[in-house]
Copies of this chain bind each other. A is one copy, B any other.
Amino acid sequence: MADAGDGPILDSARLTGFCRAVFERVGMPEAEAALCAESLVEADLRGVASHGVVRLPIYAERLERGANNPRAVPRILRETRGTAVVDGDNGMGQVVGAWAMEVALRKAREGEPAWVSVRNSNHFGAAAWFAEYATRAEMIGIAITIGGINHMVPWGGAEALLGNNPFAIGMPMRGAPPMMLDMACSVAARGKIIVAAKEGTPIPPDWAVDRDGVPTTDAARALEGFVSPLGGPKGYALTLTMGLLSTMLSGAAFGREVTHMYEDFARPQNVGHLFAVLPVTAFEDLDTYYARMETAAAELRGARKAPGVARIHLPGEREALLRQARLGEGVPVAAAVMEELVALGLRLGVPPLK
């Protein structure tokens, strides 16, 4: 992804308004447009630029060209007390995912665990956003998705059959942001390799393999190849498992069925997700749970530090702190992204950002 330091800093509410207007202009109803706008700007607020407004142009293009359905109506295909299979009607992943997570929450509010699988969806943005639906309801949330592009090889392979499949697990805290694991399965994001290639600097040997599956420190050759899983075969097994969980329980696309989000506008992507909600209260009194989580957090924060480390962060804490700051100070947008947003606004007749 482009460096965010070279562009303007924008008020998050204005940025959200702009995104919302774009989504409406390409055919989305007001509420769904607002939801998608919020998801993008939330990612930027939290410093997860890769899932922020940088995605607005491709989302808009897919919606305009009919690759994604702007007026999708998700529905439940089959259901038990604790499970559901949702068809997303080829809607935006944010809309479909939020809808599916609400289904899971409704079930979990009865005090039982819920799992909801999804097919016929699209790229859903940041996984943590969905897990937070559960943590806000004082429950544990899990969100898993298959990636929108095959960027990874099976271990030992030289052919992209796997996405860099992200997942999030959120555990609620009282009076503090949730403990939030949110990760994809590669060592480094492809965006970092793009930057290195532009700068002509070498990359670490474990970041990528070339088009033949051989590890390379040459960023340009890495871009012709594939990103490497973290921990080698562990990351391969992890991304494969997350991909299978996202697709085999719903009929979503896997492996060769996966189309390229940025290159194929003819066919629906049929992206799959899997969501789980686990009510804490089924296992533990909420006060006890929160008190123990707080003790754990305090212990971790108070641990002896390595030289030069000022603060130990909990998973998701950096993002929550950044969000707090950026709500006041604004959101940095990379110059290249800003250029695209301006062009998009002009083309669609959306009032400019600044």
Q: List residues of A whose CB falls within 8 A of some B CB.
A: 78, 80-83, 85, 111-115, 117, 140, 153-159, 161, 169, 171, 179, 181-183, 187, 209, 212-214, 230-231, 233-238, 240-241, 244-245, 247-251, 254-256, 276, 278, 280, 282-284, 288-289, 292-293, 295-296, 299-300, 303-307, 309, 311-316
Contacts and interface: CB of A to CB of B under 8 A. Distances in A.
Given A157-B305, A209-B306, A250-B283, 14 more contacts: A82-B112, A82-B282, A83-B112, A156-B312, A171-B241, A179-B241, A181-B241, A213-B304, A213-B305, A213-B309, A231-B235, A244-B296, A248-B289, A255-B295
B80 A282 contact: yes
Nearest to A115: B113
A235 B183 CA distance: 9
10 contacts: A112-B112, A156-B309, A157-B300, A158-B303, A158-B304, A181-B238, A214-B306, A236-B315, A244-B293, A248-B296
Contacts of A240: 179, 181, 300, 314-315
Given A183-B238, A255-B296, A307 B83 contact: no
A159 B306 CA distance: 9
A300 B300 CA distance: 40
Contact of A85 (B244, B254, B283): B283
A329 B295 CA distance: 50
Contact of A280 (B249, B289, B292, B311): B249
A158 B255 contact: no
A253 to B, nearest CB: 10
A195 to B, nearest CB: 18
Given A81-B112, A300-B240, A213 B293 contact: no
Contacts of A250: 283-284
Given A179-B244, A238-B183, A299-B161, A284 B315 contact: no
B214 A307 contact: yes
Contacts of A111: 80
B248 A293 contact: yes
Contacts of A292: 247-248, 251, 254
Contacts of A256: 299
Nearest to A292: B248
Contacts of A212: 306-307
Contact of A183 (B81, B161, B237, B255): B237
Contacts of A289: 248-249
A81 B213 CA distance: 48
Nearest to A311: B156
Question: Closest 3 CB pairs between A and B?
Answer: A213-B306, A230-B231, A237-B315
Contacts of A304: 157-159, 213
Nearest to A283: B249
A289 to B, nearest CB: 6
Most chain B CB atoms below 10 A, which of A83, A179, A314? A83
Nearest to A213: B306
A205 to B, nearest CB: 10
B241 A80 contact: no
Contacts of A81: 81, 112
A238 B316 CA distance: 12
